Amino acid sequence: MSLMGSIDIFHASAGLLVGVLVGVTGVGGGSLMTPLLVLMFGVSAKTAVGTDLLFAALTKIVGSAVHGKRDTIEWPIVRRMAAGSVPAALITLLALGWIGDVGQSTENLILIALASLLALTSVAVIGRKWLFRHRGDLGATHSAGTTFYGTTALGALIGAAVSLSSVGAGAIGVTVLLFLYPRLPMARIVGSDIAHAVPLALIAGTGHWLMGDVNFILLITLLIGSIPGVIVGSYLSSHAPDRVLQPLLAAVLAISSWQLFVKARTPAPVKVEAPVMAKAQH
């Protein structure tokens, strides 16, 4: 019982940390929680992705409520992204359901997709600082049509990525939105990205739940820590210490990406059947 209690404390602490990062930066849901579950807690990739999607949806509902109260959500952006992300998520879930019985190869596919998106997210976190400084020079190059269709295409990309790996709706989404909407305040970019992630994660998480890829005991434990964390993080989003937080976050994501690549390339242990004579004796 004491061992279970200590595991619960670690899970809740991980939820608290990720919740704060989600509220502050819009990054951290899948980018940190899924690697934590796979690498530190030994959860299978499919279960980690499915559980984390529902975890992210419920966590970001709270974050969206805080950002909505502060009027830092651009609802037209949310609708444009959802127009692309919802169909893409449904198509990806159907594909995962079709290949779901492949076994270890499916697990490795998810690990490689997760590692690749974490590496891209790490670069996006670092590049976002430069883009934020120079975004005023980029606004004149965008037409209304480019912005509209670019936002929908971004939603489709995120919908597929999130459904496969639970990663993509944070740093990657925020970075591209900074490019598409260079004159929008950072808090409104983060708020819009978090609000869009709620229906997407709910749809993708429900799909993984129907495929049996959600651990509800683990989900509840993570939420115990994440809900207060995301409330605090959302209120701190305008005062985040970017000079420290962003390089540290990028380094953690890069290390997690490398570790997941290594795990995906490591052959699964071969199960050795007991000799026939030994079975007969029992």
Taken as a whole, the chain contains a residue count of 282
Tell which wins on pLDDT, 12 or 203.
203
Mean pLDDT across the stretch 253-277?
Answer: 67
Q: How far is CA 39 from CA 85, 170, 264, in A?
A: 28, 20, 11
pLDDT confidence of residue 76: 94
pLDDT confidence of residue 127: 73
pLDDT confidence of residue 111: 83
pLDDT confidence of residue 273: 46
pLDDT confidence of residue 86: 95
Mean of pLDDT over the chain: 77
Nearest-angstrom CA–CA distance, 214 and 212: 6
Mean pLDDT across the stretch 189-194?
Answer: 84
On whether the CB atoms of residues 261 and 115 are closer than 8 A, the answer is yes
Spatial CB neighbours of 57, under 8 Å, sequence gap ≥ 6:
197, 198, 201, 202, 205
On whether the CB atoms of residues 156 and 113 are closer than 8 A, the answer is no
On whether the CB atoms of residues 229 and 18 are closer than 8 A, the answer is yes
Q: Tell me the pLDDT tens digit for each residue of 32-81.
A: 788 888 888 888 888 888 898 888 788 778 778 877 887 888 999 999 99
Q: Tell me the pLDDT tens digit for each residue of 73-128.
A: 899 999 999 999 999 999 999 988 877 654 566 677 778 888 888 888 778 777 76
Q: Tokens in use for 246?
A: 């962003």
3-state secondary structure of 148: helix
Phi/psi at 5 (nearest 5 deg)? Answer: -65, -40
* Closest by Cα among 135, 70, 123 to 251: 123
Confidence check: pLDDT of 249 > 80? no
Distance from the Cα of residue 114 to its chain's centroid: 9
Q: Where are the domains of the chain?
A: 2-265
With cut-offs at 50, 70 and 90, classify the pLDDT of residue 26.
Answer: low
pTM for the model stands at 0.73
Confidence check: pLDDT of 1 > 50? no
Tell which wins on pLDDT, 186 or 209.
209
Nearest-angstrom CA–CA distance, 19 and 279: 51
Mean pLDDT across the stretch 215-225?
Answer: 87
* Closest by Cα among 231, 253, 182, 132 to 245: 253
pLDDT confidence of residue 276: 47
Q: Tell me the pLDDT tens digit for each residue of 162-190.
A: 888 877 666 678 778 877 887 788 778 87
**By mean pLDDT, which of 9-18, 20-29, 204-213, 229-238 is the weakest?**
20-29
* Closest by Cα among 111, 85, 34 to 196: 85
- What percent of the chain lies above the pLDDT cut of 90? 14
